Structure 1
Amino acid sequence: MSVPNYYAILSVPTKATFEEIRAAYRKESLKSHPDRLPPDATTAERKRATSRFQQVADAYFTLSDPVRRREYDLHLPSAYSSSSYQDDDTENPFASGPPPTSSAPPPTSASSFFSNLFSGTSTPGDHADADETFTNVFSDLLEPELGRESHSRIWSIVGGGGGLALGFVVGNVPGALAGAFAGNRLGAIRDAKGKSVGEVFLGLGTDRKAQILRALAAKVFSTVGQHI
């Protein structure tokens, strides 16, 4: 069984903290996000970007959870732990592809090491959902970028109308006014919380996604003085 070097994929040392792993995931996922490719990108380029994006998500999925990380570290080839990697593709031998495999795979643990580490026999819960991972980690930054696109007024309107009708039946005009106000407020809550920013982002067109990803990249990379 080959063991990907998830520390190298995220360009972090094996002793990295959760905060360092999260920050590294943000940088690497923005670099590889398929929606950042130009419209004329080839099928092969999109396939490579999607594969890399999934690989980065798997690395974060594994290293961000203490239990999964302990299990992974038990199977980590010793050669992988001898170096730490910087955020520089020229210094990271695994930046453009998977790491070399160990010639002597470690024995499988009782947990089958994540069902043979996302092999064809893995269960659905073992593999990271790359899009869901991305939107979860970036939810705090996506909201201001999406602005009011994450909200609509449809349920506040429907709620107001429904409350108006019900209130009139129960209490004539005074009841109608109270019902309309209550229904409008309940509808507004439904509008605000009906969809997560992640769901809204995933539903956007490719061009709008690309704009938001560029804005996110500017925020993330400005904090470390780097540009992509």
Structure 2
Amino acid sequence: MSTFPDYYALLGVSKTATTDEIRQAYKKESLRTHPDRLTKATVEERKVATEKFQAVADAYYVLSDPSRRSEYDILYRTKAGNKSSDPGSSQNFFSQFANMFAGASTGAGTGAGPHGAMPGHQPDANGVFADVFEELLRPEVERVVPWWSYLGAACGAGLGFIIANIPGVMVGAYAGNRLGAIRDAKGKSVAVVFLSLGGSQKAAILRALALKVLGSAGM
């Protein structure tokens, strides 16, 4: 018989935890287990981290929404002695019971929606992470990827110099930078930009987030 996932244990919270406590616990656990922090990990180590990261996202998705949590708690009380914090149990849980969430609410910030999960499906771990961390991710992402802003400034400066020498450089660089900034921002969510970054850039951003949330990048 497959074990039942103990989402409270996975997040390290009590069964009476508030929604805010669950959110804070998710932030800490997701940063600790995010596979992109493991830049020098072996394939096996990265696989283990990815499974734990997904299970932590599952736990937040279920416990952060009152309707999903209520449905989960009904099952939780019937699984005495058969609960586990093993990440594999979460995947089994969604394959068996995800449809019971089909009628649950999908309010903002609960991990549902475009980056979360469709009712009856396991949530996308990266999407849940981006939703919860959007406020903290945005300045970190914008700090490292204004490619079009830089390119626009360089091209504008060159064109400005051709037209009006040094004054033209200043005007052209500013105009090009603003046009590039529009290109950087247009149609790109924080999640999309973050996921498109290279491994070293993502690791640097995650370390910065860890400093803010955990107090130590090594945690």
Q: Show the counterpart of 1:219.
A: 212
Q: Show the counterpart of 2:141.
A: 146
Does 2:67 align with 1:67? yes
Per-residue deviation at 1:79? 7.2
Q: Label 1:125 to 1:97 Cα distance change in 2 as closer, same or farther (>3 A).
A: closer
Q: Label 1:16 to 1:112 Cα distance change in 2 as closer, same or farther (>3 A).
A: same
Q: Label 1:188 to 1:64 Cα distance change in 2 as closer, same or farther (>3 A).
A: same
Per-residue deviation at 1:97? 5.4
Q: Is there any run of 5+ residues in structure 1 with no aligned partner, and where?
A: 81-92, 100-107, 116-122, 158-180
Is residue 13–residue 22 contact of structure 2 (8 Å, CA) maintained in 1? yes
Q: Is there any run of 5+ residues in structure 2 with no aligned partner, and where?
A: 90-95, 103-117, 153-174
Q: Label 1:210 to 1:187 Cα distance change in 2 as closer, same or farther (>3 A).
A: closer
Alignment of 1:1-228 (within 5 A): 2-39=3-40, 41-77=41-77, 94=85, 113-114=100-101, 125-149=120-144, 151=146, 153=148, 191-222=184-215, 228=219
Per-residue deviation at 1:193? 3.9
Structure 2 CA distance, aligned partners of 1:125 and 1:188?
Answer: 39
Is residue 149–residue 200 contact of structure 1 (8 Å, CA) maintained in 2? no
Instruction: State the TM-score, normalized to the length of structure 2.
Output: 0.65
One-letter identity of the residue aligned with 1:136: D
Identity %: 51
Is residue 150–residue 196 contact of structure 1 (8 Å, CA) maintained in 2? no
SS at match of 1:127: coil
One-letter identity of the residue aligned with 1:18: T
Structure 2 CA distance, aligned partners of 1:47 and 1:130?
Answer: 14
One-letter identity of the residue aligned with 1:197: V
Task: Provide the alpha-carbon RMSD of the alignment.
Answer: 3.7
Per-residue deviation at 1:63? 0.6
One-letter identity of the residue aligned with 2:207: R
Q: Label 1:20 to 1:73 Cα distance change in 2 as closer, same or farther (>3 A).
A: same
Q: Label 1:17 to 1:130 Cα distance change in 2 as closer, same or farther (>3 A).
A: same
One-letter identity of the residue aligned with 2:55: Q
Per-residue deviation at 1:2? 3.4
Q: Label 1:199 to 1:97 Cα distance change in 2 as closer, same or farther (>3 A).
A: closer
Instruction: State the TM-score, normalized to the length of structure 1.
Output: 0.63
SS at match of 2:4: coil
Q: Label 1:213 to 1:186 Cα distance change in 2 as closer, same or farther (>3 A).
A: closer
Is residue 18–residue 64 contact of structure 1 (8 Å, CA) maintained in 2? yes
